[in-house]
């Protein structure tokens, strides 16, 4: 009997050693880092014998451990590595993944498999497939985290909340011109040109029509809305005037002449949070003595008293009011939301109106700059004025609005144009302390669809 016990005990010891030998062990660890929307995976060298391959898996949900759980879905396999000495892998195809992305690698040996730990990467972004052909126009309302995607050809408009990562509204679009979204009297509203004489107002969340403002004469060159008042830069027989409407009743309150010119090339109007109104105009003037035309650039500033523009002053500075044969510089004339600063040109020169001093926030990254003031927050974004059809995402410079001190350079999360596609459009803007980068890619399908991809990156 004693011999039987001894034999059983010995068998149990052998079984124990056998089980211990087959118990899965981790001989290497996985780590993951991100840069420019690529995921870089690294693991420790494989020191075990019997190497066959390494499988790399990616999923938007936790990946099971094949040593203890069910096998990993073969559809999650993104790469198989047959080189034992390779200890890294770059995943560059994660652009359309939402939220968290999970990674695991599995070492295949001749007699067993070993799974690494799981690494989770959080992409602050998302993608949405929309039943609308790409956007003819896009505009944003950062105060409400809204992105508007409009396609005039298909007669559709989409309203997306980019923080909630969802579509709020897809609506049919009557014939409209380019518009803008604004917080008006505490509510998001969307204003659009139905024609050069009609401006329509829609609910900013549902796109339900609210009312139209009809212009009796001339045509609308530019317009802005603030505190339920509409300010129109109107051109009528070469005369420029500011027309002020009360949007509660849609009635005209004042029509203030601002300039006369034989040929008005362009005009832009801005209204600041501090109740100031700026008008930038470029006029073509004929010099009969020299028999040539030249351009006169003028910037007017009005204070709003009881919502109406008072007498104007001309903001004068050589960089701001340069007379030039190129009229492209008018696109860069924009006041800061507080009305204290004016962007002068595409070189990154900003005028301090109170002191007439100049800040320059141009850089080697953006020699032809487009400067965007954050409507929510205290930052300024400097981005390329044009993209030159490059695949490489542009570099974006971020400055503090107070003192224009440099914060950092961030690479845009998306290529804004891809040569040969003709169907990818994107842009970047700042919402508080978050850089929002988005692109829209049309897909050839019937019915037409497009993919909106949005990236959100905090930078403070």
pLDDT digit string, tens, across residues 366-389? 666 788 898 888 899 988 765 544
> Is 414:38 a contact under the CB 8 Å cutoff?
no
**Pairing status of strand 88-91 against strand 292-305:** unpaired
* β-strand partners of 159: 148, 169
Q: Is 385 exposed, middle or buried, given 0-12, 13-18 or 19+ CB atoms closer than 10 A?
A: middle
Res 74: pLDDT: 85
Note the pTM of the prediction, 2 decimals.
0.72
Q: Band of the pLDDT at 23, cuts 50, 70, 90? A: very low
What's the mean pLDDT in 117-133? 79
Neighbours of 337 (CB within 10 A): 18
Per-residue DSSP letter, 22: H
The radius of gyration of the chain from alpha carbons, rounded to an integer in Å, stands at: 30
Q: Band of the pLDDT at 3, cuts 50, 70, 90? A: low
Angle formed at CA 132 by CA 126 and CA 138, multiple of 5 degrees: 65
What's the mean pLDDT in 138-147? 91
Distance CA 103, CA 30 (A): 9
Count CA atoms within 13 Å of residue 168 on its CB side.
18
pLDDT in tens, 52-95: 999 999 887 788 888 766 788 888 898 999 999 999 998 876 65
**Pairing status of strand 125-130 against strand 100-109:** unpaired
Per-residue DSSP letter, 15: H
């Amino acid at each position: 009997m004693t011999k039987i016990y001894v034999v059983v005990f010995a068998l149990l010891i052998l079984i124990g050693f056998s089980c211990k030998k087959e118990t899965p062990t981790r001989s290497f660890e996985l780590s993951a880092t991100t840069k420019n929307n690529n995921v870089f995976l690294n693991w420790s060298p494989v020191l075990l014998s019997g190497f066959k391959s390494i499988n790399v898996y990616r999923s938007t949900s936790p990946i099971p451990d094949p040593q203890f759980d069910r096998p990993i879905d073969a559809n999650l396999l993104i790469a198989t590595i047959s080189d034992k000495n390779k200890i890294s892998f770059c995943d560059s195809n994660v652009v359309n993944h939402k939220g968290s992305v999970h990674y695991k690698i599995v070492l295949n040996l001749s007699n067993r498999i070993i799974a690494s730990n799981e690494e989770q990467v959080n992409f602050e972004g998302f993608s949405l497939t929309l039943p609308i052909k790409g956007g003819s126009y896009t505009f944003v309302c950062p105060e409400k985290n809204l992105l508007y995607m409009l396609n005039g050809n298909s007669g559709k408009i989409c309203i997306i909340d980019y923080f909630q990562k969802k579509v709020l509204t897809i609506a049919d679009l009557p014939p409209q011109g380019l518009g803008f979204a604004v917080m008006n009297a505490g509510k998001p509203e969307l204003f659009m040109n139905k024609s050069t004489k009609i401006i329509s107002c829609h609910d900013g969340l549902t796109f339900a029509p609210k009312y139209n403002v009809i212009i009796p004469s001339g045509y609308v060159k530019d317009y802005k809305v603030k505190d339920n008042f509409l300010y129109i830069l109107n051109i009528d027989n070469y005369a420029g005037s500011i027309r002020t409407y009360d949007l509660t009743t849609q009635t005209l309150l004042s029509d203030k002449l601002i300039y006369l010119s034989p040929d008005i090339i362009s005009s832009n109007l801005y209204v600041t949070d501090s109740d100031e109104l700026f008008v930038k105009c470029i006029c073509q003037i004929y010099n009969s003595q020299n028999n040539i035309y030249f351009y006169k650039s003028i910037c007017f500033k009005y204070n709003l008293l009881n919502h109406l523009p008072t007498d104007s002053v001309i903001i004068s500075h050589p960089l701001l009011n340069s007379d030039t044969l190129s009229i492209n510089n008018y696109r860069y004339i924009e006041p800061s939301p507080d009305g204290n600063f004016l962007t002068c040109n595409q070189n990154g020169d900003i005028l301090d109106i109170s002191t007439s001093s100049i800040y320059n926030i141009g850089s080697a990254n953006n020699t032809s700059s487009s400067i965007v003031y954050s409507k929510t927050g205290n930052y300024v974004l400097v981005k390329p004025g044009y993209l030159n059809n490059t695949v490489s995402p542009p570099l974006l410079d971020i400055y503090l609005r107070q003192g224009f001190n440099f914060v950092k350079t961030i690479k845009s999360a998306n290529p804004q144009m891809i040569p040969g596609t003709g169907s990818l459009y994107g842009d970047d803007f700042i919402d508080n302390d978050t850089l929002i980068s988005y692109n829209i890619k049309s897909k050839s399908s019937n019915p037409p669809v497009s993919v909106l991809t949005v990236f959100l990156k905090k930078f403070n």
